[in-house]
Amino acid sequence: MLEQNWASEAVILVVDDVVTNVELMKLQLSRAGYQILTASNGEEALEIIRRSLPDLILLDVMMPGMNGFEVCAALKDDPHTQLIPVVLVTALHEVEDRIKGIEAGADDFISKPFNRVELLTRVRSLLRIRKLYRQLERSYQEIEAKNAILTEELKMARHVQQHLLPAKYPALSKLTFSVVYRPTIEIGGDFYDFLNVSDQEVGLFLSDVSGHGVSAAMLTMVISTIMRAVAQKVQEPGAVLKQINEQFSTMVEGELTGTFVTAFSVLINQATGEVKYGNAGHPTPILIRGDGRTVERLDTDGFPLGLFDYSNYEQKVVQMEPGDKLVLYTDGIYDVMNKQRRILGMNKFMDIVWELRQLDAHSLSDEIMRRIHDFAGGAAQPDDICLMVVEYLK
């Protein structure tokens, strides 16, 4: 009964430039009890979305004007629409197209020609997540109105989350560490940890749960538990990510379908300077060479955790030399927005790192965050920020 009431209230926007496709989806979804809005192109869709804020969007990829990737990216960049689930409906089947969709922020995919059962199943699943987000938002707003209760509960949640994070840095003679963590509220969805592998090796792990706030913070507990259990058995970054993904994918089935986590796993040998690393859809770390003339990005491939039940993660190796610094971060650091609603962006962040490349680890992290703070000018931020700098001492 509750599911039927939710269906009758849920509004779905169908966007496709082919009228027959729109009518077919509209027929199937209307029969299931959903309220349907339609648009024939990207520009029209954005106007409707900003006016009516639908509960879910079924978005064709190949359209004249703005394509589906561009529309999706615009929605996910807007704080007012970023939590609306977007399903890309596409005849494209290449992995590169899926990656492009993920980068644009898509929550799910449906292939053309679509199957009725698959369509309704995915819609119901994503609408349940949307409903959960709304319930969490309403709960948070109600708690926020009661300032005394809010303060105590968030303090408790922050206390719990702080115990998930490492209390101190690894004690290694040739490596020094500096970490800054700033959630959007008292708690956040970013997570980091150090793994003491041996007296010469240390593992680093940095992750970012999709979304932020209370729900994302809850999932950091899941990730931290899985990661620590996996790390007791394997240390190779590619294998760590593979096993975390398999366990996490199982746990987020059902109500949390569409939830994913980006992560970066590193293993550093301070005796040799060898760095092994693997990436699960996370922003690419930066390696600053000690000569001050070179800044490299540690590119590698890998899907975010939770998107696919089974996925292999490429592992690469790079050599650090004395004086080199490794900079790891979550995407909140370059998504910082100022009061004019301008976003810092990756290029500007890279410029900041380049300008400050000669500083030591602690000074570098402090100065980066000062520059970020100055750019924001006091504006509230859309995402959590985590920054980690590792310096290989001379």
DSSP assignment of 75-109 equals HHHSTTTTTS-EEEEES---HHHHHHHHHHT--EE
Instruction: Give the pTM.
Output: 0.60
Mean pLDDT of 163-176: 87
pLDDT number for residue 4: 45
Cβ contacts of 85 within 8 Å, gap of 6 or more: 55, 56, 57, 107, 108, 126, 127, 129, 130, 258
SS3 113: coil
Mean pLDDT of 342-355: 95
Give me the residue spans of the domains in the chain. 2-140, 166-392
pLDDT at 314 over 90: yes
With 0-12 / 13-18 / 19 or more C-beta atoms within 10 angstroms meaning exposed / middle / buried, residue 216 is: buried
Report the mean per-residue pLDDT for the chain.
86
- Chain-centre distance of CA 26, in angstroms? 31
pLDDT at 2 over 50: no
d(CA 174, CA 379): 39
Architecture of the 2-140 domain: 3-Layer(aba) Sandwich (3.40)
Per-residue pLDDT tens digits for 128-158: 888 887 777 777 677 666 655 555 555 665 6
d(CA 84, CA 295): 37
Mean pLDDT of 278-296: 93
Gyration radius (Cα) of the chain, Å:
22
d(CA 394, CA 392): 7
d(CA 101, CA 62): 12
* 166-392 under CATH 3.40.30.10, yes or no: no
Mean pLDDT of 306-330: 93
